[in-house]
Amino acid sequence: MPGDSVTYNSHMDPKLAGKLVVAISSRALFDLDEAHQIFSTGGLDHYRRHQIDRENDVLPKGTGFPLVEGLLKLRDPQGKDLVEVVLVSRNDADTGLRVMNSVEHYALPISRAVFTDGSNPYEYLKPFDCHLFLSANKDDVTQAFQQGFAAGLVYQPPYSLEQDANVVRIAFDGDAVLFSHEAEETYRNEGLEQFHQQERQSAEIPLNPGPFKGFLEALCRIQKLFDADRCPIRTALVTARSAPAHKRAIKTLRDWDVRVNESFFLGGVGKDGVLGVFRPHIFFDDHEMHCIPAASKLPTAQVPSPATREPVSEQLSSKKKKRVKPSAGRKPGRPRRRSRIED
């Protein structure tokens, strides 16, 4: 019922209790492409000097910025904050000052930050009871995922990051994201006909949870605080499933007592078309073949998955090309290259 309180993990720190907690790296929140290139070509000392000399230069918005900005505006009907965002960075606090100055410039109410000076930041997700982790570092995303956190590796920002300021829209793939990967394994190993037969026979058996079930549940708890016509969050399921495999997905969500606002059962049709209409603040999928076309239009993050032989792809960290202006033919959506300092 609208007006009910939100309760998440009972062991949460009292200052975080009742909130959706999102951890995001500095490279996921801001576009640090220039600084990364300097680190890659000039080394750590050159990078440090660059960041300190420009600590008052505002960083451009990154892939995760629209989601963070939208979530931080959420208030319950009594005016209380519903979301906490924690900056988690491989920088040290000295070089990270530019990031925090940019946070202040954009008036983002982010007060908590973790600077690890190259150490693995994913280890600090548990103390904050994070529901979601976004990063541009492949290893950190994979490690967080293996520890049971919903985690996504962000692609480069699309041409436009302007999103609906009043409603936060989030789109999810189905199998290996909201649901477990078992059904997808049947498709990969035995083909479409056997997959449909299995899903038809198992229509009344709920699918096992996927890595983003908890994040979706947290979003649904917030949605229940509002009347349907005034809800500031809208979700979508965008899946390659089609009839008859749609029934099991629908009944699984019903069994979990969660719902998504819009559902697209595409049967192999490209996802970027409907995503371009839905215009999510972020889209989560475990397949590079879906992420790349979507990332040119909207913020996109790839989810690690045991269902694919392309776990968060090495291409996401080692084949990033230098970006140029759109008029010169920049191809957005190529993932980021990993480094010790940047994340």
Whether the predicted pLDDT of 35 surpasses 50 = yes
* pLDDT band at residue 12 under the 50/70/90 scheme: low
321 within a domain of the structure (yes/no): no
| DSSP character string of 133-165 | EEES-HHHHHHHHHTT--EEEEBPP-S-----S
Mean pLDDT of 291-310: 82
Which pLDDT belongs to residue 10? Answer: 44
Which CATH number fits the domain that encloses residue 205? 3.40.50
Q: Are residues 173 and 232 in the same domain?
A: yes
What confidence tier does 318 reach under pLDDT thresholds 50, 70, 90? very low
Give the domain CATH number at 134: 3.40.50.1000
Q: Could you say which of 125, 154, 183 is where a domain stops?
A: 154
Last residue of a domain, one of 121, 154, 187: 154
For the chain, percent of residues with pLDDT exceeding 90? 56
Tell me, yes or no, whether 162 lies in a domain. Answer: no
DSSP bridge partners of 261 = none
pLDDT surpasses 90 at 33: no
Residues 258, 303, single domain; the answer is yes
Catalytic residue among 31, 33, 173, 343: 173
Residue 95 sits in which domain range?
Answer: 20-154
Separation between Cα atoms, residue 333 and residue 296, nearest integer Å: 5
Number of domains the chain contains: 2
Alpha carbon distance 39, 206 (integer Å): 48
According to the model, what pLDDT value does residue 11 have? 57
* pLDDT score for 15: 75
- Residue 191 binned pLDDT confidence (cut-offs 50, 70, 90): low
**115 and 178 together in one domain:** no
- Cα separation, 231 vs 74, in Å, equals 10
249 contact partners, CB below 8 Å, separation of at least 6: 174, 179, 207, 237, 239, 241, 263, 265
Nearest to 300 by CA among 171, 162, 175, 164: 171
Residue 99 in this model has a pLDDT that exceeds 80: yes
Shared domain for 221 and 296, answered yes or no, is yes
In a domain, 4, yes or no: no
- Angle at which helix 246-255 crosses helix 192-201, to 10 degrees, equals 40
Contacts of 301 (CB under 8 A, 6+ apart): 63, 64, 134, 152, 153, 154, 155, 282, 283, 284, 291
117-139 b/e (C-beta count within 10 Å ≥ 16 → b): eeeebbeebeebbbbbbbbbbbe
In a shared domain, residues 141 and 80 = yes
For residue 307, pLDDT beyond 60 = no
Residue entry with tokens 């998504």: 260
The verdict on residue 315 lying in a domain is no
Angle between helical axes of 97-105 and 33-53 (0-180°, round to 10): 100
Is residue 173 annotated as part of the catalytic site, yes or no?
yes
